[in-house]
Amino acid sequence: MTVKGPVTPSALGTTLPHEHIMVDFIGADSVSKDRYDLDSVATMVKPFLQDFWKSGGQTLIECTPNYLGRDPALLKRLSEETGLNLLTNTGYYGDEKGQFLPNHVYEESAGQLAARWITEWKEGIGDTGVKPGFIKMRVDESPISETGQKLLHAAAQTHKASGLTIGVHTPDGATALEQLEILQDHGIDPSAFIWIHAQNEDDSKIHQEAAREGAWVEFDGIGPGSADYHFKLINSMRQDGLLDRVLISHDAGWYRVGQPGGSPGDFDPYTYIFEQFIPRLKRAGFTEEEIDMLVRENPQKAFTISVRTIES
Ligand SMILES: [Zn+2]
């Protein structure tokens, strides 16, 4: 489900599954569309999206959640102006301090939160008509807090009602496995779960464990400073025959709301993977089929909308 409506999975083409166009870290109590000018953001970001297109990209999955600068109208406009597929999300970013969570999270049940997200899926986000293409969450630190558990229960219910894949920003392997367990308790198949920021865990055994269960293991944050480490993690999955569960992305971009001009000097481009990292994978012996799996086949499968429950 793109910001312009549904497409067949293969139409996504070459896809980056975890990037950002705009973020605002002011906090849930102050976040507002009044804090930025949509035209200025679009003007600043558009050339970076065009460079992504020129480097071979066709779909960019925007992972900025609600209360952190999610703006479906901005994404729809940029999609129309660039020809790229863009996806946005529903769900909440449950950071440790709750800085990016609205107060109703603490007052409502998981079912009530799920009802909000399911309404976005069915009716579109606000009055934009744009539907979310996945569920994006953050849940911190194993053992997972009561609030974190509530968010996961809400995500599970939303998945069952919508078929949207659940991507969770995760601090480490122990938390990822605990999240998987909670979702499985709801009967959700691990293939509906993306372990976002799997590179935060340096123990490849835990990546393998999650992948063997069927979860998507996402190594994002790929850039010049981390390429050796990322290569090691991805190559380890390859050696274990688990490349078909791996997603790769930059976690780049970021028009920074509240900073002058969105701080264009800090905006990371969406091209490193195509210009540097894939050539490196090829030099190391990765085949065309394996590259295709990483940047086309896997994201297309991961973001296909279908209810995935455990067959009993
Ligand atoms: Zn991110």
Using one digit for the tens of pLDDT, what is the confidence trace for 107-153?
999 999 999 999 999 999 999 999 999 999 999 988 999 999 999 99
Q: What is the pLDDT of residue 10?
A: 96
How much distance in Å is there from the Cα of 183 to the middle of ligand 1? 22
How much distance in Å is there from the Cα of 138 to the middle of ligand 1? 10
Side chain identity at 39, as an amino acid letter? Answer: D
> Which of 200, 211, 210, 204 minimizes the C-alpha distance to 172?
200
Q: 131 near 1, Cβ under 8 Å?
A: yes
Q: In CATH, what number is assigned to the domain containing residue 226?
A: 3.20.20.140
> Which of 174, 175, 180, 143 minimizes the C-alpha distance to 310?
180
How much distance in Å is there from the Cα of 64 to the middle of ligand 1? 7
Q: What is the pLDDT of residue 96?
A: 84
Torsion sign, CA atoms 27, 129, 79, 297: positive
| Residues 53-61, mean pLDDT to the nearest whole number | 98
How much distance in Å is there from the Cα of 121 to the middle of ligand 1? 21
**Residue-range definition of the domain harbouring residue 68:** 9-301
Sheet strands side by side (includes 15-23): 85-87, 59-62, 15-23, 253-256
Find residue 195's DSSP bridge partners: 168, 217
Quick check: is 1 in a domain? Answer: no
> Which of 33, 45, 40 minimizes the C-alpha distance to 69?
33
How much distance in Å is there from the Cα of 19 to the middle of ligand 1? 6
**208-257 pLDDT per residue, tens:** 999 999 999 999 999 999 999 999 999 999 999 999 999 999 999 999 99
| Residues 89-97, mean pLDDT to the nearest whole number | 94
Whether 312 has a pLDDT exceeding 70, the answer reads no
Both tokens of 221, joined, read 């944050």
| Residues 51-71, mean pLDDT to the nearest whole number | 98
How much distance in Å is there from the Cα of 221 to the middle of ligand 1? 8
Calpha distance 94→43 (Å, rounded): 31
How much distance in Å is there from the Cα of 162 to the middle of ligand 1? 23
Quick check: is 189 in a domain? Answer: yes
How much distance in Å is there from the Cα of 142 to the middle of ligand 1? 20
Quick check: is 306 in a domain? Answer: no
Cite the DSSP H helix spans in 163-268: 173-185, 204-213, 227-239
Calpha distance 194→211 (Å, rounded): 10
Quick check: is 192 in a domain? Answer: yes
How much distance in Å is there from the Cα of 250 to the middle of ligand 1? 8
Residue 61 pLDDT level (bands cut at 50, 70, 90): very high
Q: What is the pLDDT of residue 311?
A: 78
Helix (H/G/I), strand (E/B), else coil: 163: coil
Report which of residues 97 and 294 the model is more confident about: 294
| Residues 262-286, mean pLDDT to the nearest whole number | 97
How much distance in Å is there from the Cα of 18 to the middle of ligand 1? 6
Quick check: is 28 in a domain? Answer: yes
Phi, psi of 263 (to 5 degrees): 55, 65
How much distance in Å is there from the Cα of 247 to the middle of ligand 1? 13
Calpha distance 270→18 (Å, rounded): 10
Quick check: is 307 in a domain? Answer: no
Find residue 86's DSSP bridge partners: 60
| Residues 260-265, mean pLDDT to the nearest whole number | 95
How much distance in Å is there from the Cα of 139 to the middle of ligand 1? 13
How much distance in Å is there from the Cα of 251 to the middle of ligand 1? 5
Number of domains forming the structure of the chain: 1
| Residues 39-67, mean pLDDT to the nearest whole number | 98
% of the chain exceeding 90 in pLDDT: 97
Quick check: is 233 in a domain? Answer: yes
Calpha distance 196→248 (Å, rounded): 10
Quick check: is 3 in a domain? Answer: no
